[in-house]
């Protein structure tokens, strides 16, 4: 795989938040904007991208100006809007893209057995290790992220250190499956929350709406040989169920998803397989292991 151009700047702590939104002028206020405000993110960092003039007027009238910085007319369609956002910002900009229906951003906590008041009372080293070892994964739990602003800055700093251009979070907000690790191999970067160090590059242009998050993951991995995922951070949202957004433009999403999945598998046959979820039958793309999984 070919390495991309080295990241030039590793010192900036500035970033911008871009939220593509369609027919959700009310929902975005009660979901993502409320979440960002609750976590102390300043409105001057937040830009909302809408599809057209009509949507602009609706959002402008509905959303109090103190909740965001700029309202920007982009393009209709998720892939088109994602591509527009990348082209809108200069190369090197640190961009966090968020969906407009995020209920919260959470972090993992792992429980451990409580240390005794007097460790000297233990008879063996084996007993000491047992007392301080993690409990079963069923004892893990999550809480709202402690400091979202600091997490975002650390995520971009780590990208600079590892010569990565894309970072993301764990796709499922389930503490049983989450782990207290950060990995740099090929792992799915879920669409509702991710960050990039921006580039204007033809091989990073999205061509599909369904599975655009999988396409982006594969594009960045092939280009850079790495993507960073924080497996101890996740988002609370309702996949495929919230009115507005892609539900408004894509009819039967299962059919579109299968076409996209087959296209991605044809393009990346050694990195993907196609499967259907057991309960819903919804087609998905599984990313294959790419060697040693590095934990940071």
pLDDT score of 245: 52
Cβ atoms of 217 and 155 within 8 Å: the answer is: no
Q: Is residue 7 part of a domain?
A: no
Q: Is residue 80 part of a domain?
A: yes
29 forms beta bridges with none
Report how far apart the first and last C-alpha atoms of the chain are (Å, whole number). 22
User: Please, what is the Cα angle at 257 between 292 and 248, to 5 degrees?
Assistant: 130
**Which domain CATH number covers 92?**
3.90.550.10
Mean pLDDT of the chain: 88
- Count: domains in the chain: 1
Q: How do residues 166-202 score in pLDDT, each as one tens digit?
A: 999 999 999 999 999 999 999 999 999 999 999 999 9
Q: Is residue 4 part of a domain?
A: no
DSSP summary character for residue 288: P
* Domain that residue 28 falls in: 16-111+123-287
What is the rounded distance in angstroms from the CA atom of residue 48 to the CA atom of residue 73? 9
pLDDT score of 13: 77
Beta-carbon count within 10 A of 275 CB: 11
Torsion of CA 279, 107, 141, 282, to 10 degrees: 0
Above pLDDT 90, what percent of the chain? 73
More confident residue, 45 or 246: 45
**Secondary structure in 3-state letters for 8-29:** CCCCCCCCEEEEECCCCCCHHH
Least confident range of 22-26, 92-96, 115-119, 134-138: 115-119
User: What is Dmax (Cα atoms) for the chain?
Assistant: 74
Find the radius of gyration of the CA atoms of the chain: 21
Q: Is residue 11 part of a domain?
A: no
Least confident range of 13-27, 71-85, 169-183, 275-289: 275-289
More confident residue, 3 or 107: 107
């Amino acid at each position: 795989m070919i390495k991309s151009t080295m990241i030039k700047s590793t010192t900036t702590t500035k970033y911008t938040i871009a939220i593509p939104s369609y027919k959700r002028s009310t929902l975005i206020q009660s979901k993502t904007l409320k979440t960002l405000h609750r976590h102390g993110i300043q409105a001057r960092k937040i830009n909302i991208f809408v599809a057209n003039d009509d949507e602009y007027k609706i959002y402008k009238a509905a959303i109090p100006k103190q909740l965001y910085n700029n309202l920007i007319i982009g393009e209709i369609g998720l892939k088109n809007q994602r591509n527009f956002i990348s082209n809108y910002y200069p190369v090197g900009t640190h961009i966090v893209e968020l969906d407009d229906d995020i209920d919260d951003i959470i972090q993992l906590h792992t429980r451990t057995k409580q240390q005794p008041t007097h460790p000297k009372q233990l008879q063996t080293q084996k007993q000491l290790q047992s007392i301080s070892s993690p409990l079963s994964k069923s004892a893990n739990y999550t809480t709202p992220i402690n400091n979202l602003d600091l997490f975002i800055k650390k995520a971009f700093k780590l990208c600079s250190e590892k010569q990565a251009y894309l970072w993301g979070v764990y796709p499922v907000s389930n503490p049983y499956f989450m782990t207290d690790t950060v990995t740099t191999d090929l792992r799915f970067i879920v669409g509702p929350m991710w960050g990039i160090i921006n580039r204007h590059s033809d091989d990073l242009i999205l061509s599909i709406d369904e599975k655009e998050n999988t396409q982006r993951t594969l594009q960045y991995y092939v280009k850079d040989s790495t993507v960073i995922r924080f497996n101890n951070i996740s988002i609370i949202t309702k996949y495929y169920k919230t009115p507005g957004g892609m539900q408004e433009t894509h009819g039967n999403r299962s059919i579109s998803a299968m076409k996209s999945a087959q296209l991605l598998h044809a393009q990346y046959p050694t990195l993907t397989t196609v499967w259907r979820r057991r309960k819903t039958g919804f087609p998905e793309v599984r990313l294959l292991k790419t060697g040693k999984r590095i934990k940071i």
